Amino acid sequence: MCEVVLRGFGWRHAGRRAWALRGVDLHIAHGERVLLLGPSGAGKSTLLAALAGLLPEDSGEAEGEVQIDGLDPRRHCFPGSPRRPQDRAPVAGNERVGLLFQDPQTQLVMARSGDDVAFGLENRGVPAGEIWPRVGEALDRVGFPYPMSRPTAALSGGEAQRLALAGVLVLRPGLLLLDEPTANLDPAGAALVRDALTRTCQRDTTTILVEHRVAEALPLVDRVVVLEPGGGVRADGAPAAVFAACGDELADRGVWVPGHPIAPRKAVAPPGDVLVRVRDVAVADRLPPVEVDVRAGEVLAVTGPNGAGKSTLALVLGGLLPPTAGRVEYPGQPAPPHRWRAAALARRVGSVFQNPEHQFVTTRVVDELALAGPPASVVDDLLARLRLTHLAPANPYTLSGGEARRLSVATALATAPRLLILDEPTFGQDRRTWIELADLLAGLRDEGRAIVAVTHDDAFVSVLADRRRCLGFP
């Protein structure tokens, strides 16, 4: 177990005027299980990074102090945070911190799944005879569905998340930091992860969890801390007490609070013409044969378990990956989309990747939106509609997960394409930005555009989807 203390802590990223966090006073005792909440951009991920010692002095400005069992995490190596070859160092004492990032790809360092989980144990000098039994136990606890020999490059986003979690849990950390651990998981996988975390918490691990699936996360925690954007702690206490005292206010400010449903945004008219026909399309080892039509004026939700090929289908539809079998037909276009010129593809199809950072190519948010050549008025409008105006000069790689997702959606909209293909569009959104994004997509749908959304977000399906296509089922 570890004790966490923050006194007047603040952090401002290099090149930013606004503080990501400021004036945070917090004490978390040994063995406490804390759910960290707050609107998008409130600094939740930044706080976890600070506790893991991942805010180097040359990357921003700090004030106040952060201590784990009386030690500054930036000056002491805690295994499991991060797991990269260049960070190998001997560790003294029992201070142990494990961090699961929002993007699992930042933690996978080996070519085979079992080797990746074993990496941290080998780094710590655990005897060889203990390593593989512990690796097998960790993989079983998170419900990893493949042998240890499975290539990490062949994993879906949700499968990679489970593997990354196994790599953290195998270290048996005293302080466990979890940043949206179930965001990219199907319901069954999310339940397995929560079960694994329940068992971990019962072993007297201090846990700090950032999670937007609040109702599902509450059984894992005994305390809720709500961050105020740029200004300390807004609420702190037992979950029931916090939500009873200020639940309505928190929901209005963007915090996901149980018992505050969102009204459906259904189409104002029936769907129109077919924009895309998919006929027996398959990608070897990634997507079994699938058929589906995409129509103007509808939101099509693509759902199914992790590994069913949802993201692969999105790439094929968007012309970013050629199928190995079958046909993708855009009526009126003689060639399949993967053969179109880049400019023509960008005008007709807007794609949002599962990992937004994979599509950023500039060093400023405003330049990212201007890259495809839209008028300045369109750029300004998108910045305003997606609450990014204050971040226009910021580096896209310093955004929070929710902010980065909104930027990726904005870049897809910049050329006003008739078809939008969105992979996990609501990932990392607080309640307010989730509703604003849903309203934006509903408006585009009602203007006649087609939206294909790969999602594990049941609320998105119930609120916005006109039709659902489940992969991985007969």
Please check whether residue 79 lies inside any domain of the structure. Answer: yes
Average of per-residue pLDDT across 33-48: 91
Q: pLDDT tens for residues 167-207?
A: 999 998 999 999 988 877 888 888 888 887 887 776 678 99
Residues 338 and 222 in one domain: no
Final residue of a structural domain among 252, 284, 314? 252
Residues 174 and 230 in one domain: yes
Please check whether residue 148 lies inside any domain of the structure. Answer: yes
Euclidean distance between CA atoms 451 and 302, whole angstroms: 10
Euclidean distance between CA atoms 63 and 73, whole angstroms: 14
Mean pLDDT of the chain, nearest integer: 89
pLDDT at 460 exceeding the cut of 60:
yes
Euclidean distance between CA atoms 267 and 270, whole angstroms: 7
pLDDT band at 105 (very low <50, low <70, confident <90, very high): confident
Please check whether residue 258 lies inside any domain of the structure. Answer: no
pLDDT given at position 205: 86
Look at the block and give the residue holding tokens 């941290």. 120
295, burial (CB in 10 Å: exposed 0-12, middle 13-18, buried 19+): middle
Final residue of a structural domain among 219, 252, 285? 252
Please check whether residue 366 lies inside any domain of the structure. Answer: yes
pLDDT at 124 exceeding the cut of 90:
no
The pTM score is: 0.83
Give strand ranges (E) for 238-286.
274-283
Please check whether residue 261 lies inside any domain of the structure. Answer: no
Beta-bridged to residue 65, according to DSSP, are 7
Q: pLDDT tens for residues 50-65?
A: 999 989 888 899 999 9
Residues 419 and 310 in one domain: yes
Task: Please say whether the beta carbons of 445 and 264 come within 8 A.
Answer: no
Please check whether residue 200 lies inside any domain of the structure. Answer: yes
Residues 199 and 318 in one domain: no
pLDDT given at position 44: 92
Final residue of a structural domain among 252, 286, 302? 252
Please check whether residue 259 lies inside any domain of the structure. Answer: no
pLDDT band at 87 (very low <50, low <70, confident <90, very high): very low
Average of per-residue pLDDT across 220-244: 92
Range of the domain at 462: 274-470
Q: pLDDT tens for residues 128-180?
A: 999 999 999 999 988 898 999 999 998 887 788 889 999 999 998 999 999 98
pLDDT band at 104 (very low <50, low <70, confident <90, very high): confident
Residues 428 and 380 in one domain: yes
Euclidean distance between CA atoms 464 and 460, whole angstroms: 6
Domain count of the fold of the chain: 2
Q: pLDDT tens for residues 260-276?
A: 999 999 999 999 999 99
pLDDT band at 82 (very low <50, low <70, confident <90, very high): very low
pLDDT band at 473 (very low <50, low <70, confident <90, very high): low
Please check whether residue 263 lies inside any domain of the structure. Answer: no
Residues 97 and 235 in one domain: yes
Residues 388 and 459 in one domain: yes
Q: What is the DSSP letter of 405?
A: H
Q: What is the CATH number of the domain that holds 160?
A: 3.40.50.300
Residues 13 and 152 in one domain: yes
SS3 157: helix
Residues 292 and 429 in one domain: yes
Residues 325 and 401 in one domain: yes
Residues 454 and 384 in one domain: yes
